[in-house]
Amino acid sequence: MREGSSVSALARAARIGSVTPPRLVGTLRGVPLDLSIVRPGSPTSPLSEAWASAPDTTDPAFCAWLSDLSAAAAGGQLALAFPPVRAPEVSEPGRWNVDGDVRFQAEFPLSWDTLDPRSPNFALKQFSKRLYLERASTWLDTLPPGAQALDLGGGIGRFACEWLDRGLAVTLADPNPRALELALGHLARRGGRFELWNLAAESLRELPRDTFHLVSALEVLCYLSEPQDGLREAARVLRPGGLLLCSVESGVGSLDPAIAHSAEAIATAAALTEHAIPGDTWVRYFTADTLSEAISRAGLEVLAVHGTHYLTDGPLHRLVDFERLADPAYADALLAFDRLLESTSGFGGAARALLAIARKPDPHGA
């Protein structure tokens, strides 16, 4: 396991609260923790040592323990620091989004944890994931078993969990450590090969170049102060022939989905280039053309750009019966409708989100 991996991150677990779950007893720098599950017979080993010699994240007992750590963090009993254990530098205006997420999570923890089936946003976020995956399936199916995936701006792990389910080895990077704490639990409950890094997409210098078969950045790049910086880093860490899967907002995202909008209003919104509420929100809007240009400028070959989210979260949001989103037949029909709208002349430009699939050129490839 390489230096600074997710395991050594937990070596920096800090701020243990007064209520300690049973598994978190032992000693780490005078702080109580239980290492016995990690290293039977050495319950007082420093956590960093235990982490280095631990069974990897494919070990169910180790994952159960990681899941407990995540739950303790979510319950406010401890805070976890993830590698490289210093706060990533995120400049304004992009910083506003990260700070806003932290505030939102503190205020509405269940709404924010959209991978919890009890979350009011669970079905919507799962459906949104399908909208992306269906369009990218031809390319994703080419990934070899055990391929390495980096999920940039992976948040609480919506796509990282998907990559684990597909047997990929996952590295999740996000500048928000509170998101990483939740992601740890979601990934650990699935098991598989994973690491978590507290990194911003603009600077991934701890991750080696030419490494990943897949870099995913869903609903991320448009929230960066300068999306091109994230694309440059994604291109650097992709291995030759590797795939980039990314999605961004179009100007249609500026419209309130709860209200019906005229064709003129949708067209006007689609032409917007950015949205800023100082201290709160920053979005750089894209069109299919500007997204393709940005990806090409990073040295990647664009394979496809799709419009998506015409219905859920999009201009036709009000048509959706959200009570039925969990019904597979209804979700299938909605998905087919979304794809139909993409290819419908005159409506294709009304996509709320744009999904791009690109490849890093391989000078030695076929």
Ligand X SMILES: C[S@@+](CC[C@H](N)C(=O)[O-])C[C@H]1O[C@@H](n2cnc3c(N)ncnc32)[C@H](O)[C@@H]1O
* Contact positions vs ligand X (CB under 6 A): 90, 94, 97-98, 101, 152-155, 158-159, 174-176, 179, 200-202, 218-220, 223-224
Q: Would you say 39 or 317 has its CB closer to ligand X?
A: 317
Q: Would you say 87 or 263 has its CB closer to ligand X?
A: 87
The alpha carbon of 107 is separated from its chain's Cα centroid by a whole number of angstroms, namely: 21
Q: CA angle, corner 216, sides to 168 and 182, nearest 5? A: 75
Minimum distance from residue 91 beta carbon to ligand X (Å): 9
Minimum distance from residue 265 beta carbon to ligand X (Å): 24
Q: Would you say 179 or 331 has its CB closer to ligand X?
A: 179
210 backbone dihedrals φ, ψ, rounded to 5°: 55, 40
State the pairing for strand pair 194-197/169-173: parallel
Q: Would you say 137 or 262 has its CB closer to ligand X?
A: 137
Minimum distance from residue 201 beta carbon to ligand X (Å): 4
Q: Exposed e or buried b for every residue in 214-225, given b needs 16+ CB within 10 A?
A: bbbbbbbbbbbb
The alpha carbon of 105 is separated from its chain's Cα centroid by a whole number of angstroms, namely: 15
* Cβ partners under 8 Å of residue 260, min gap 6: 318
Q: Would you say 153 or 251 has its CB closer to ligand X?
A: 153
Closest CA to 242 of 284, 283, 208: 208
Helix (H) / strand (E) element for 213: namely strand 212-218
Minimum distance from residue 156 beta carbon to ligand X (Å): 7
**Alpha carbon distance 187, 189 (integer Å):** 5
Q: Would you say 47 or 215 has its CB closer to ligand X?
A: 215
